[in-house]
A and B are shown apart, each in its own frame.
Chain A
Amino acid sequence: MGRNLSKSDIPALVLAVLFEGPRHGYAIAREVESRSKDLFRLREGSLYPALRVLEQEQFIAGEWDTQGSGAARKVYRITSQGQAELASRTREWEEYSRAIGSFMGGAHAPAH
């Protein structure tokens, strides 16, 4: 059973997924789950508000794709501002992870 993602983590993960290429909402949700090996469960109810905020910030741009054979779908792609934001968030995460790792990495359970 996957764990629900915190709202504050969703924008960064969405940016990371879109960095790989443009996707529509359904594909973004499935990609997050598959890349986390089903550890993360991205609830769609949290995805769309996050997409709107990212659009508003101009980190992503959404366009209706009418070229396919089926119904038009809204496809999102990352913008250059989004790429810069992703790079900054990645740096922050690496620093945070290193700091936590310095405490947890060498820790061993007390021997009894």
Chain B
Amino acid sequence: MHPHIEKYLFQVSCQLKDLSATRRAEEVREIAQHLQALVEEGQGQGLNESQAVRTALAQFGSPQKLGRELNKAGLKRAPDHLPKSFAVMTKVMIGQAMLNLLTYGILAWPSMWSAVVRSNGGREELILLLIGFGVLYCAVSIRVGVLLRQLRRGAFWPALGLMGYQSIVYAIQFSKTFSTPHSSHSWPPISTGTVLFLPTLFCLMILVLNRKSYFRLSSAKWST
């Protein structure tokens, strides 16, 4: 393959950073074949190889622009194997399970021997709380990372709603935990009812929003 074509394909490939390795390889392969056909066509019209390559590459335009557009188009693609709503809902449930584990596991754990640490002036208790919230902070960061990817994949409204919901839950959890450490043996940050009710409500919201956002994306694509 001509070095200019190889360089072009490499530049396109660099922009396909959000696609899977298989899809990236397929995109590059298809463009390579098309370029090769254009070069052969040019040579058939009497151009020498380097002229034909130059003409073929000009037909394709900027590799960065092409790569960016292919990457963007690939991101908007719904998962092949799972309905989109189901995929988003699964993520919500995983997030909720993580939240419950942190709430009733790690954060409740120090309270079991809070009586012991409280007798020492509460310093250790504070340290444990900070460790607990440190872990919680990491979990939130991971969730936000997942959600940002979701945003880039086109599920804008569900992801935004989910981020809002998680922020509210964490805010409630944080304020309740810090406002009651010395008045309660256990520190239930949010009630079980809230934990069960809000995700259900939120899942319904996701179904509606996801549908809406998907259709809006679909109609927008034609006009871009």
Contacts and interface: CB of A to CB of B under 8 A. Distances in A.
Interface string B15-43: 00000000000110011011001100000
Contacts of A7: 224
B33 A73 contact: yes
Interface string B185-223: 000000000000000000000000000000000100111
Contacts of A57: 218, 221
A105 interface: no
B contact residues, range: 20 to 34
Contact of B34 (A8, A25, A53, A56): A25
B34 A44 contact: yes
Nearest to A27: B37
Contacts of A74: 26, 30
A26 interface: yes
A43 B70 contact: no
A45 B60 contact: yes
Given A48-B70, A49-B66, A56-B78, A43 B61 contact: yes
A51 to B, nearest CB: 9
A25 B35 CA distance: 10
A111 interface: no
Interface in B25-71: 26-27, 30-31, 33-34, 37-38, 59-62, 65-66, 69-70
B31 A53 contact: no
B149 interface: no
Interface string B104-126: 00000000000000000000000
Nearest to A25: B34
B91 interface: no
Given A26-B33, A53-B73, A44 B59 contact: yes
Contacts of A71: 33
Contacts of B73: 49, 52-53, 56
- By CB atoms of chain B within 10 A, which of A7, A29, A56, A57 has the most? A56
Interface of A: 7-8, 11, 24-26, 29, 43-46, 48-49, 52-53, 55-57, 64, 71, 73-74
